[in-house]
Structure 1
Amino acid sequence: MRTLLALTVMLLAWAGFAATGLLLRDHPRPDAGAELLRVRLPIPVQLAYSAGDPFLAANLNVFRSLMVEARVTEQETYRVQGQLQADAAFFNPRHEDNYYVAAAILPWNGQVAAAQTVLLKAAQSREWDMWPAFYYAFNAMYFEHDMNKAGHWAEVAAERHPRNAAALRDMAAKWYERGDDPAIALNILVAMFEQSKDENFRALLAARIVRLQGLQKLREAAGEYRQRQGRVPSRLEDLIGHAGLEALPEDPLQLGYLLSAEGQPQLADHVKKQDSQ
């Protein structure tokens, strides 16, 4: 009886949602472009819309995330994408595409917390898979600057991949000692680029790679500037002419770069760019 009642309520909820969609179909909508995300439904509604199937609900969220084009640089889209992928991880924490896309896209667009939510759930549930643990460790090191967390999860990845355990443990040791290093990030993105077969996804990764290469050149110039001038740079233009830097690197995503208070070049993410305007 309870099962029948629950099924009836679920069907009524789904019917109500479908009817609402039909009513709104002819209403004018903002011309935001098909590649932008604006809507994230509450989890119970997502489940009802998927006829009570959590795996279908997860797949729908991941599919929506994959539809974001590589040229998108709009903050709200990535905020909604982060929510959608976190919801997908709630429905199906083992979803491989979900954690892979989250690792490659979300943290590089100001959605570190969402990416880490997806990756942690995947790492905890996919006990045979080294990659979500490894990406979680990398984000902990590179974005969160939590070296203890990074080292721990790199060691977890090592336990799951005996063949590369020595290299992973060596990396864990280095992560305990090192902080923000674009060279490490470049290695990760290049590996993901080479493994991916999706052209849109590869285009997005290629843009991230070029962006990090620009950051690497800026940091080399900043290091030489400090040695020559005995002080830190006050603006990015000061770095031109140092370490072979002839001009400021162009960012394919048009977000640009920033100088930290210590004169260290940094990637400008969507949040920082918005706050500075």
Structure 2
Amino acid sequence: MNKSDFMPTSIACDDNLFGNDAVIFVHGWSCNRSSFFSQYAFFSKGHRVIALDLPGHGESPACSGLDDLMSYSEIIYEFLAAKGLHKARLVGHSMGGAIVLTLASMFPGLVEAVVVLDPVPMVMTPEFYAALEGLAISLEKGEVEMRSAFVAQALFREDADPQLRNEVVAMMSTTPAAIAAAAMRAILQYDGLATAKSCRAPILHIAADPPTNPIHQMEALLPAVINRQILCAGHFNHHEQPKLVNQFISAFFEKVSRESRA
């Protein structure tokens, strides 16, 4: 299905249909909405919460023509409009972090606040770019083993829980190779620094250990961003330390609410 024919209402999601303060969770590369099960349960107690599957991921139908992260953002915007949502707080992990920043820069009137969980690098080094491009090429050839190895070795610390590591690898392996490859190509076109600088909404960055975006670099390049870090937790810090991640997000949302009332 081409993007022009894609129906935003076909996006699969969990929606608690409660409250007015909408919090939207956007999963990372090759993942699905189950990635946010801990956050969905926690924030559903006091917010309208939606966790969605990006096109071609989880239970959402595939869509061709998603050549960049702006295309993903446009679909999410149309999805939220179909839900009747005109204000939202966005939370994205990894690629999802890049998407919510893009969405906030494209549709500033929609977004009240942005949380990025160890997002795609704001400044991508040549080495990192080459590694991701190599992964895209392997997936385009149908060589899915490289994805599993990349996730297990590059996205988790050596001391990570083996069961959690295996569960995440299994979850990410359910995304078709062609979908994962196209999404990676979209990531490779992303200009994170320019996108973040154009975002008017307040931003909370929760880094992993080690961080994809070093804290000192974020402070120098994007001084308005609030930085937090989960120590001893890798790229999937919202899985490894969900309570702490939820506390950081909750405190940030409370700050945003206070400032909006002032």
Give the TM-score band, short-chain normalised. Answer: under 0.3
Q: Where is the strand percentage greater, Structure 1 or Structure 2?
A: 2
What is the TM-score with the length of structure 2 in the denominator?
0.28
The TM-score with structure 1 as length reference comes to 0.26
Name the structure where helix makes up a greater proportion of residues: 1
Pick 1 or 2: higher relative contact order, CA cutoff 8 A, min separation 6.
2
Which structure has the larger Rg?
Answer: 1
